[in-house]
Structures are given as structure tokens and as C-alpha cells.
Amino acid sequence: MTRPYNFSAGPAAMPESVLRLAAVEMLDWQGSGMSVMEMSHRGKAFMSICETAERDLRELLAVPSQFRILFMQGGGLAENAIVPLNLSRGGAVDFVVTGGWSQKSAKEANKYATARIAASNEADGHTSLPTPASWKLGKDAQYVHLCSNETIHGVEFHELPDLKALGCDAPLVIDFSSHVASRPVDWSRVGLAFGGAQKNLGPAGLTLVVVREDLLGHALAVCPSAFDYKTVADNGSMYNTPPTYAIYMAGLTFQWLKRQTAGGLSGVAAIEQQNKAKAELLYSFIDNSQFYQNKVAKDCRSRMNIPFFLRDEARNEAFLSGAQAAGLLQLKGHKSVGGMRASIYNAMPLEGVQALVSYMREFEMTQA
Ligand SMILES: *Cc1c(COP(=O)(O)O)cnc(C)c1O
């Protein structure tokens, strides 16, 4: 059986070998007589699954020891509230708006704090990144929030800002939902990173939070206990029942990631090389075409989410139905942007992008 290529923005394609291993282990995990879904989260078997997942993730992302790794629930959208509940102290927060997700984050934070827009690329339709030197960061900001990869608009920070160098002592919060584990993270510039699992790590239901220890313990009194980072950290992510099966699946994905190699590199460094090659293939095809178009500035184009347009939008329906027939799924763009979007996360093999480019070339020829 060959599976079609799934370009969904999320929930997204998972590595086939991970799905196959999960299928083998579905009814009986390693002689336990139970599916992982049926295990007590405090039992020995699941505790070992969870600890291994956390250790592998720490190794893969080179997370320093002064950061805690939390497995939570609620997704990126819940974190839009949970972060200000924990970090804002009810004060002011500066947002760098670079697309739909950071815009949403600012709006939600404003319920619990004073959300200020320090910079925005709204004027150019979210197709560029405002240079950090132009950001209006307040001295009283409790933290600065940005979305390091805008899933809808296809804008990615290829370097995180050095807030200290900008004269700002506030911690940087990043929403890395849609490019976590696709590239290394410079933790020296980050106070907290969060992301839903369903794009690059595993199934929906698990939310990853990586937080510097000194930021724990400042939650507002109204913060739900299950969302207080300190409570979650003190209880090893088991204050409430964690999303056990999603953690297990993410753990299998981490092991798959550790096995990746490319040009003498392994793990995240290897997958980064693969991701670069995949993105370059698609962008260079689009840029060399008179038929297709990508509108994002070249220095901040996402390696994960590539929105593109047919110059003649009357052909959109034919493009999508032909793609579906060719085994290329979920290419329709987000409703707020239109056109097409190819999400090519870690689990998308190079062959999938090659198949997409071949289809795009053929489609153009049939339309001449
Ligand atoms: C998908 C996504 C979210 C929302 O995640 P949910 O799990 O649906 O809450 C937030 N931020 C970014 C950047 C995303 O890509």
C-alpha cells in the first residue's frame, strides 16, 4: 500500500514508520498486556515512556538544564491565555505581530494583561518581518511575545532576536507550534517556548512548554491550578492526567528524529538540512514560474508552510482536484489568505515535495 502525500497544516502527516510501530504495539505494549491508552499514568510502564520522551526531547532540542519541559493540554490557543496568566503579573506585554497567530495571541492576552503591539507587518499583508531594531519595546514589559513560524502566512524567523542587545531585559516568549524540532533553538534568547504537538511532534492533544525555571511561580491568583506552570512542573506534568497516548506517539517521533542523518549530521541538525532542501526545491520552482507565485519576502520565508497562488485563480478548483487525484492531499490555502498552501513538516519526505513539483509542472502544461 502506498500512502498519498498529506500537505495538511495540522493535524499533519506523521512518519510512516512511527504509525506502523504504534499499530504493532496497539493491543499489547511490550508484553504489558495493555495498550498504552489503558495504562495508569502513574504506573511504571507509562512513567518510563514519559521519562524517555522527555529525555529524548531535551537531547534533540539541546534544552539547557535550567529549563523545564512540561507536557500540557489545551494547544497553542490555550497557551495564548496560559502564558499571560503565568508571566504577565497583570502588567504590560509587548507583541510582535507577524501574522494570524501572533495577532490572535495578542488579542487573548489582553484579557489578562495589557497587550501592546510593538511591531506589525499587517500593512504588507504579513509578508515580511519588521527588523528588531524598529520594535517599540517598553521598559515595563513583563515579556515579549512572537510567533517564530507563522503557519498561515508562511513567515518564519530564521534568527531569534537578541532582546538584551535591543536594551530589553524582558524574557522572550515564542510560539513555535509549527516549526518545533525542525531546526535548533537558540535557548540563550528564549524564556519560554510553547507549541501544540499536531504539526511536527505527534497527534493533537499534547502541548509542549519549555520554560526557564526563574519564570515559574508568578501565576495570577485566578490561574487554574492545572495551568499554573509551577504546579505542572512540581508534579512532573502529572498534576492532572496528561495526554498519555499523545505523549507516547510524540516519544516514538522523537526516536525517529534521533535516527535521522544527513551529511554527517544527526537528529534535529539532520532534519534541518532535509527541511532546507525540501523548501528550496519548492520555492525555486515557484520563483522560476510565471504561473505560480509566493508573496513572502525571501529572507523570512517559512521552511514549513509555503503559501502559493496560481496567477489565474480561476484555475484553483482544477488544480486542487487534479492534486487530489494525484495523491497530493490538503493543498487548499487557509481561508484568510486564499490560494494554496503546502505544509512540509519534518515527516514530509523529499519525494513528497518532488511529487508536488512534478504535478505543478504538469498542471501548468495542461493549462497552456
Ligand atoms: C496551530 C497553531 C496554533 C493553534 O494550536 P491549537 O492546538 O489549535 O490550539 C497556535 N499557534 C501556531 C503558530 C499554530 O501553528
Are both 98 and 223 inside the same structural domain? yes
Annotated binding site for L-glutamate: 42
In a domain, 3, yes or no: no
Domain endpoint, select from 231, 257, 283 = 257
| Residues near 271 by beta carbon (within 8 Å), at least 6 away in sequence | 181, 182, 183, 257, 260, 262, 346
Are residue 296 and residue 191 in the same domain, yes or no?
Answer: no
Question: Is 79 near ligand 1, meaning CB less than 6 Å away?
Answer: no
Q: Is the CB of 177 under 6 A from ligand 1?
A: yes
Distance (Å) of CA 153 to CA 56, 79, 194, 235, 306: 31, 20, 19, 37, 8
What residue's CA is closest to ligand 1, atom 5? 76
Identify the DSSP state of 42. Answer: T
Ligand 1, atom 13: nearest CA belongs to which residue? 177
Q: What is the pTM of this model?
A: 0.98
Encoded amino acid at 167, one letter: G
Q: Which helix (H) or strand (E) holds 165?
A: none
CATH number, domain at 332?
3.90.1150.10
Distance 179 CA to ligand 1 centre (A): 11
- Domain end residue (candidates: 223, 257, 291): 257
Say what angle helices 244-259 and 16-25 make with each other, to 10 degrees.
Answer: 130
Q: Do the domain assignments include residue 9?
A: no
Catalytic annotation, residues = 101, 175, 199
| 109 and 37 together in one domain | yes
Residue 361 structural domain: 262-367
Residue 196 Cβ inside 6 Å of ligand 1? The answer reads yes
The verdict on 217 and 82 lying in the same domain is yes
Q: Does a structural domain hold residue 11?
A: no
Ligand 1 midpoint to CA 342 (Å): 16
What CATH number has the domain bearing residue 26? 3.40.640.10
| In a shared domain, residues 180 and 198 | yes
Among the atoms of ligand 1, which is closest to the Cα of residue 80? 10
Number of structural domains in the chain: 2
152 and 276 both lie in a single domain = no
368 residues of the chain, pLDDT tens digit each: 689 999 999 999 999 999 999 999 999 999 999 999 999 999 999 999 999 999 999 999 999 999 999 999 999 999 999 999 999 999 999 999 999 999 999 999 999 999 999 999 999 999 999 999 999 999 999 999 999 999 999 999 999 999 999 999 999 999 999 999 999 999 999 999 999 999 999 999 999 999 999 999 999 999 999 999 999 999 999 999 999 999 999 999 999 999 999 989 999 999 999 999 999 999 999 999 999 999 999 999 999 999 999 999 999 999 999 999 999 999 999 999 999 999 999 999 999 999 999 999 999 999 97
Domain boundary, last residue among 194, 229, 257: 257
Same domain, 136 and 217: yes
State the pLDDT at residue 191.
98
Range list of H helices, 138-216 = none
Pairwise CA distance, residues 173 & 211, whole Å? 9
User: With a 6 A CB cut-off, is 6 part of the ligand 1 pocket?
Assistant: no
Q: How far is the CA of 79 from the centre of ligand 1 (A)?
A: 9
Q: Is the CB of 98 under 6 A from ligand 1?
A: no
Task: Give the per-residue pLDDT at 145.
Answer: 98
Distance 203 CA to ligand 1 centre (A): 13
